[in-house]
Amino acid sequence: MPDKNFLIFTNLFPYFNDTQGGSFITNRLMIFKSLNINFNVYALIPDDTFFVKMLKKYFGKKIFDDPKTNFEIHEINYNFITIHRNLLNVIKERTIREKIFLKYSDNILNQLYDQVKNRNYNLIIAHGMYDPPAGLIAKYFSEKLKIPYVVNCQGSDINYKMRLSPELYIDVLENAAKVIFVSNAILEKAKSFGYSGNNATVSPNGVDLDNFKPLNKEKIKLDLELRNEVVGFVGNLLPVKRADKLPEIFEKISKHRKVDFLVVGDGPLRKDIEKRCKEKNINVIFTGKIPYDDIPKYMNAMDVMILPSRNEGFGAVIIEAQACGVPVVGSDNGGIPEAIGDGGIIVKDGNNFEMKLAEAVLKILDNPLNKDILRQRALNYSWDNIVQKELEIYEKIIFHN
């Protein structure tokens, strides 16, 4: 078996003002490093003109404005590969997506080929199919270096981006040695656009079980001045998370039970949610954005966590909650049912969804699930387990190539 030596491209990565960005990539790479696997990782980062940055800021999009060429976290070095974007490029991304993405790929190949051609890589791994798709860049380098490539699809790339240029996506996915989907639901979504699924497998994201674990619930509640049972939400306050319906869900629960509510996260809907909760006289603690390492503390304060998302690739936050001994009530969208399993209740989307979800929360509060069983279920999602299974896939590809 040849030594593992990976060339990695990713659309998802940490940055100076968002160190948790692409944390599920970093977690994988940390285990690679612990196993002495050789790799170089390149993050595809836009080099936007001033006017494009102003437009992105106006629409609440993430802006990359630091001129540095790399970012290091947990001894993992992300090399930035810049993609120049002016207003015309942005327009082309919405009108002639395939043509502009192929042009970007040519530019990246020209930037990087001389650096990588003699490094004896035996596998290319792409994380994400966003703008431009990391998988497309991987395909370009695969053809030039004559080594196989693997694409990892995280959810929103397939849910929202594949429909915009399905032929390009199908071409990239079908020509990969393997395509790894974060859930069966995302695999089925890709197949609905015409992808065969012949080279597909499913591997969810993992959980840091040393960080997400049961803590002293009563002490945490006391510290947070929470005197009742706690129903919580953890995530970005966005429409896709159905955060706009949190006031209605909370109201329906509070009509039947004295409960405190805890919302961990931030986003553009926060002010409106706070306003409507106040109008309904619902007691809700909003933490805003908090450090990732502090999330387990707030999860441990919860008796039930809800995830009412309208779409979700997998829902690693569900496994994180279960690792803390907290059951989850979620919608039946995307990979949520796969993540919840028997560690909570799945609510079918549709008419009266908010009422049904509230009823499911009350049911769990009346009949709590065993915390030890929830924790035991989460142990299957340790990063060691997830990465070892993925390495088995990579080894078979390298061996047969």
Which residue type sits at 277?
A: C
The pLDDT assigned to 2 comes to: 60
Determine whether 20 is exposed, middle or buried from the number of CB atoms within 10 Å of its CB (0-12, 13-18, 19+): middle
The pLDDT assigned to 401 comes to: 64
- The predicted model gives 334-339 an average pLDDT of 96
Which residue type sits at 210?
A: D
The pLDDT assigned to 144 comes to: 96
Q: Is the pLDDT of residue 1 over 70?
A: no
Instruction: Compute CA distances 392 → 39, 125, 396, whole Å.
Output: 16, 14, 6
The pLDDT assigned to 290 comes to: 92
Match domain 5-206+382-400 to its CATH number in 3.40.50.11900, 3.30.310.10, 3.40.50.2000, 1.10.3720.10: 3.40.50.2000
Supply the DSSP string of 347-399, one letter for each residue. Answer: E--STTHHHHHHHHHHHHHHSPPPHHHHHHHHGGGBHHHHHHHHHHHHHHHHH
Residue pair 302/321 in contact by the 8 Å Cβ criterion: yes
Residue 133 preceded by cis peptide, ω within 30? no
Domain-by-domain residue ranges, the chain?
Answer: 5-206+382-400, 217-380
- Give the whole-angstrom CA distance, residue 343 versus residue 369: 8
Supply the DSSP string of 293-323, one letter for each residue. Answer: GGHHHHHHT-SEEEE--S--S--HHHHHHHH
pLDDT tier at 67, thresholds 50, 70, 90: low
Angle at alpha carbon of residue 205, lines to 43 and 296, rounded to 5° = 105
pTM as predicted: 0.92
Q: Is the pLDDT of residue 308 over 90?
A: yes
Residue 212 corresponds to which tokens in the numbers above? 């997400």
Establish whether domains 5-206+382-400 and 217-380 are of one fold: yes
Helices (H) and strands (E) in the chain, counts: 17, 14
CB atoms within 10 A of CB 251: 16
- Provide, rounded to the nearest whole percent, the portion of the chain with pLDDT above 90: 87
According to CATH, the superfamily of the domain at 217-380 is Glycogen Phosphorylase B; (3.40.50.2000)
Share the mean pLDDT of the chain.
Answer: 94
Strand partners, 76: 73
Instruction: Compute CA distances 181 → 140, 245, 327, whole Å.
Output: 21, 29, 25
Q: Is the pLDDT of residue 13 over 90?
A: yes
pLDDT tier at 56, thresholds 50, 70, 90: confident
- The predicted model gives 1-22 an average pLDDT of 88
Summarize pLDDT for 83-128 with one digit per residue, the tens.
Answer: 888 889 888 988 999 999 999 999 999 999 999 999 999 999 999 9
pLDDT tier at 62, thresholds 50, 70, 90: confident
